[in-house]
A and B are shown apart, each in its own frame.
Chain A
Amino acid sequence: MENLLVFIATRYIYIMTIILVMIGLYALIAKKNLVKKVIGLNIFQTAIFLFYISFSDVDGGTAPIYLPDGVSATYVNPLPHVLILTAIVVGLAITAVALAIVVRIYEEYQVTDEDGLQEVMKRQ
């Protein structure tokens, strides 16, 4: 029991990421509204970004900037941050494309949810 508490107290950030990933996946799978699916996708991707940022952190670490001679400090690994900057751009592009497709679907069918789409399909 104590081990579990220690685990939760020290690793809670990873548990939060897992919960966020699950919320995102749930929205992607279960939500009927296409815009909500896009929001779910964003939550899913943000959870992954948080995962990268949190595993790169070091206790008491600081930004990796050159210090004057004689001063030393623990640095946080900057590489995951840089990777996530790239991944954020990728996520932005995906969101933009997804929303553009939703807008086009709305223009064509006047609906933005899956049930409505199926009805329109049946009527055609």
Chain B
Amino acid sequence: MNAVISQLPPLLIVIPLLGALAALLLGKWNRAFAYPISLAMIGFQFAVSLVLMESVMDGDVIHYYLGGWPPPLGIELVIDSFNSFVLVVILALALLTAVWAHKGADLDIVPEKKVSFFVVFQLLITGLCGMAVTGDLFNLYVFLEISSIAAYTLVAAGRNPRSLIAGFNYLILGSIAAGFIVIGIGYLYIATGTLNMGELAVMLPAHYGQTTVYAAFLFMMIGFSIKVAFFPLHLWLPDAYTEAPAAVTILIATATSKVTAYAMLRVIFSVFTLQYVTDSFPVTELILIIAAIAIIAGAVLAIAQDNLKRMLAYSSISQMGYIMFALGVANQAALAGGILHIMAHAVMKGCLFMVAGMIIYRTGFTAIRQLSGLSRRMPVACAAFAIAGASMIGVPPTIGFMSKYYLVLGAVEAGEYLAAAVLLAGSLLAAVYIWQVIEVMYFGDIHDEDLGGGLEAPASMMVPVIILAASCLLLGIFVELPLEVVGPAAAMLLGGG
């Protein structure tokens, strides 16, 4: 392997961390510096992630020992097909969100706070990158907390004082979750004496029968379930997504929730291995049942909402159920579908939240019934909403259809016909909550005439939305492209790699 590429993983974290500091210091001097530096750093991370994915696509794994200390003494960074794929997805979304936020941040962030806003924004993304690349459990916890603390700060950073309360509740539940994860890591360390994920996978089979390992598994499962807002531990999510500044909602709904889901899958499959999980307790069946409830309950709650952002937040709970569903079925097709859905949901939910933010930016409307006739005022934004919404429902040939197709395929292969029916029912319910918005947008009458027409948002907000809406379609049509990475990643997880 190329000598330069093998040095890239730590630079992915170190250079943006220094960049955040530079943005803060230069931003104090002149406010105009902070945003370009942040954008350049996120762009740098995205470029690095593309190079890394390209070099591990043929099944290579990059190991980087920090400080030259090999594990178990040192901390290791690992890049394989699964996490390089997650990195590319979240950094692409983060980059588009950063472009969107150039104008979008004006909506909720006072000008004096913009420097600190973009610095914390970048710290959040750097924490997420760290979570994705690390091969050490305690390191994972530290990066999880870096990204979470940044997320609490950003959620509470809005002009709207309600965002403070949402941020505080998020902080309390998030910290309890993190505490549970640390307890679980402690138990694993007691059982094996190592924190390296690869080494844990080798050493744990000798300790499978121990209560310590059971306790570790359960503590970590509950901790991660709170962090990804897996129903019924989702209570922080609707308020946090609704009240947070628009740009922050996009980022945490796409990047944060996806990386946390990645970390959960990684811990379950790479540390505990699937065999342990299925042999020791009926936990996969339990996850399947709860995921089915999450899919239905999230969608039903979404239908009942009047606030557009809150509706999308409940829809996120439903969609997180789809990813957990893959974990419950746990065969090649379902897992490929689940990993594909990590990308699909990031792309379509990013697009939907961006359009919701643009509507608030131009009109101040937050309620669905206020959007009456909006398609005549913001035709491009509404078209993007319709495409991403179709993908959310799972209309072919969108990416949302492909990921759900693989999930259903996996469920049928596993003989879980009832569960497959729940997936389809979830899609029908998604059609209801997406359609009620599209109906109002396209077939409603314009009520307040004095607002005028031609409210399309500025180009810097429009371009990311168009890119995301187009990728909803293109990724679905050329689904072989992501599948080239997703298929091996799913196979690797099932093999316990």
Decide if A87 is an interface residue (CB 8 Å cutoff).
yes
Is B186 touching A34 in the complex (CB atoms < 8 A)? Answer: no
Query: Given A48-B183, A93-B149, A97-B149, are A102 and B168 neighbors across the interface (CB < 8 Å)?
Result: yes
Instruction: Judge whether A87 and B182 touch: CB under 8 Å.
Output: yes
Which residues of chain B are within 8 angstroms of A86 by Cβ–Cβ distance? 138, 142
Tell me whether B257 is interfacial, beta carbon within 8 Å. Answer: no
B32 within 8 Å of A (CB atoms): no
Complex CA distance for A41 and B152, rounded to whole angstroms: 15
**Are A101 and B156 within 8 A (Cβ)?**
yes
A55 in contact with B172 (CB, 8 Å): no
1/0 per residue, CB under 8 A from B, across A38-55: the answer is 000100110010011001
Question: Given A90-B145, A109-B161: A101 and B176 within 8 A (CB)?
Answer: no
Given contacts A94-B145, A94-B175, contact A101 B167 (CB under 8 A): yes
| Inter-subunit contact B165/A48 (CB<8 Å) | no
Contact of B183 among A51, A93, A117 (CB under 8 A): A51
Question: How many angstroms from the CA of A75 to the CA of B242 in the assembled complex?
Answer: 52
Q: In the assembly, what is the distance between CA of A101 and CA of B164, in Å?
A: 6
| One of B161, B172, B178 near A108 (C-beta < 8 A) | B161
> In whole angstroms, what is the CA distance A80 to B183 when docked?
12
> A28 — which chain B residues lie within 8 A by C-beta?
172, 176
A98 touches B168 (CB 8 A): yes
**Is the CB–CB distance between B142 and A45 below 8 Å?**
no
Tell me which residues from 151 to 195 in chain B have a Cβ below 8 Å from any Cβ of chain A: 152-153, 156, 161, 164-165, 167-168, 171-172, 175-176, 178-179, 182-183, 186, 189-190, 195
A106 CB → nearest B CB, Å: 10
The number of residues on chain B lying at the interface, defined by a beta carbon within 8 Å of a beta carbon of chain A, is: 25
A16-65 residues with Cβ-Cβ distance < 8 A to B are 25, 28, 34, 37, 41, 44-45, 48, 51-52, 55
How many residues on chain A are close to B (CB under 8 Å)? 28
State in angstroms the CA–CA spacing of A72 and B129 once bound together: 43
CA distance A86 to B168 in the complex (A): 23
In the complex, what's the smallest C-beta–C-beta distance from A57 to chain B, in angstroms?
12
Q: Are A104 and B156 in contact (CB under 8 A)?
A: yes
User: Is A83 interfacial (CB-CB < 8 Å)?
Assistant: yes
- How far apart sit A94 and B156, CA to CA, in the bound complex (Å)? 13
Q: When the two chains form the complex, which single residue of A79, A87, A105 contacts B168, counting CB atoms closer than 8 Å?
A: A105
The smallest beta-carbon distance between A90 and chain B, in angstroms, is 5
Contact A97 B171 (CB under 8 A): yes
**A105 in contact with B179 (CB, 8 Å):** no
| Contact B142 A90, beta carbon cutoff 8 Å | yes
- 15 A-B residue contacts at CB 8 Å? A41-B175, A41-B176, A44-B179, A45-B175, A45-B179, A48-B183, A48-B186, A51-B186, A80-B186, A83-B138, A90-B142, A94-B152, A104-B156, A108-B161, A108-B164
Give A contacts to B, CB under 8 Å.
25, 28, 34, 37, 41, 44-45, 48, 51-52, 55, 79-80, 83, 86-87, 90, 93-94, 97-98, 101-102, 104-105, 108-109, 117
Pairs A-B, 7 closest by C-beta atoms? A108-B161, A90-B145, A105-B164, A101-B168, A101-B156, A104-B164, A93-B149
